[in-house]
Amino acid sequence: MAVLDESRDASGHPVGNRDVADIVEQESLAEQSNNRNDIDTEDVNLQVYGWLKSLGLRFNPFFALNAADDPHLSEYLIGNDVFKAIWGDWNSFVFEPAGGGKTALRVQTAQACWETQDINRPFPIPYNPPFLKWGTIEPHLDDHLSAIATAAAEQFFLGLSHRPHWFLELDRTAQEQVGELLARILSVDNLAYYLDELAETNNLQALKRELDPTFNAPDPPGRAALEQFCMSLRSTLPGSMPASGQPGRHWESLAELLVQQLKFPALYLLLDGLDTTYETASDPHTAIAALTPLLSQISVWSKQLKIFVKGFLPAETKAEFHRQANAFAIQTRTASINWDQSKLIDLVRRRVFVASKGQFNSLDAIVTPDLRDFEALLVEKIVAPRPREVLTLINEIFAAHIRTKSQSGKIDETDWQEGLLVYKRDAFALS
């Protein structure tokens, strides 16, 4: 089974206080180079990184073609009308081609859930079916439930770490219930490890990198509150936890805890990642078949448990999805993202603004005068109106500049034409 664009930290452990963006970008250069079949791509990307820094950009905001690999994604999300179809107590599904903004919309939905210090918004559960871990594209319901329980527990622990008062304000019995359930799902050893790291480093960035790099909750807690949370949760952990073969029960218990005990108004299961595995990306029937055990639960969840599925699925699966949804009598809303030129221009400019810490908001700052209004030039030339196409073209232009001028100067007409030529050649080769 082939897995696409599933890049992670090679060590799999917290990385201390270093800039997460620096580490993610540099550690994934070799993998990107293999994916692009170019023996000098790693060196070129390192030089691009240094060149952009000399021009005032802290990092390359266009580097990560897979949105899930971008640690800054939540900082440069742009408004989208489709969000209205997603946000609400109903099941909803967005259908877009690969690179069409599905993951960014999923991150935006999760971020909206965390934009408060109070428990008055839905609890988000990002869920990418772990086909590689399963070793199969034909999972059973228990496979899904076990993976969802783990995803929910990790998100809950992240949420409590960023909102420790949610835990500290519970009575002791409720705290012990939380600790036991988290330990049962994540294991005592893993939870103790996370707590020790937090207590020693006060590094929420490292925890995010470990569990969910796209997690973003504003106004993190101070050291004292975080230390008190770590100590209090640590005191609830059992000495050991026997293995249990009841993934469905763990998931149901956690859902009940979140809705009934902590009073979250709803749970949003954010389903994504079907186009990161070759088999599910290339065959709509295979993709939806992998979800069929999950689809059989949706109606019950929404009616009885306040769990609503928000799916971000490949466009090619839409017809097969509707066939299965009808078979299971699932009531749902569907939508697609309309990427017009103005939205794509906004996407580029927002990334420049964030990467430059507000020094400038257009690539015009790093191109020669004859290429002014550079974002408009870019979106006119891409082969399809999708974010990934714009990112790919920009990276080819950056690479063209490095190959001819090294780490000096601004992008000129030669860089533009050479980068565009390579981009179109590769695009047509794949078509």
What's the rounded Cα separation, in Å, for the pair 28 and 30?
6
pLDDT digits (tens, 9 = 90+) for 91-100: 999 999 999 9
The candidate with the shortest Cα–Cα distance to 257, out of 249, 293, 228, is: 249
What is the end-to-end Cα distance of the chain in Å, rounded?
23
The candidate with the shortest Cα–Cα distance to 393, out of 62, 52, 60, is: 62
Q: What is the pLDDT of residue 201?
A: 87
Angle at which helices 20-27 and 41-54 cross, to 10°: 150
Residue type, 92: S
Q: Given pLDDT bands bounded at 50, 70 and 90, which one contains residue 20?
A: very low
pLDDT digits (tens, 9 = 90+) for 239-294: 776 656 677 889 999 999 999 999 999 999 999 999 888 888 889 999 999 999 99
Task: With residue 91 as reference, give the H or E element that holds it.
Answer: strand 91-96
What's the rounded Cα separation, in Å, for the pair 320 and 55?
48
pLDDT digits (tens, 9 = 90+) for 240-255: 766 566 778 899 999 9
Are 335 and 313 spatial neighbours (Cβ–Cβ below 8 Å)?
Answer: no
> pTM here?
0.86
What's the rounded Cα separation, in Å, for the pair 123 and 57?
34
Angle at which helices 413-430 and 374-381 cross, to 10°: 20
pLDDT higher than threshold 70 for residue 23: no
Q: What is the pLDDT of residue 267?
A: 98
pLDDT higher than threshold 60 for residue 422: yes
Q: What is the pLDDT of residue 242?
A: 62
Q: What is the pLDDT of residue 244?
A: 62
Q: What is the pLDDT of residue 81?
A: 82
Backbone CA torsion sign across 85, 91, 97, 100: positive
SS3 assignment, position 57: coil
User: Residue 10 has which token pair?
Assistant: 């090679």
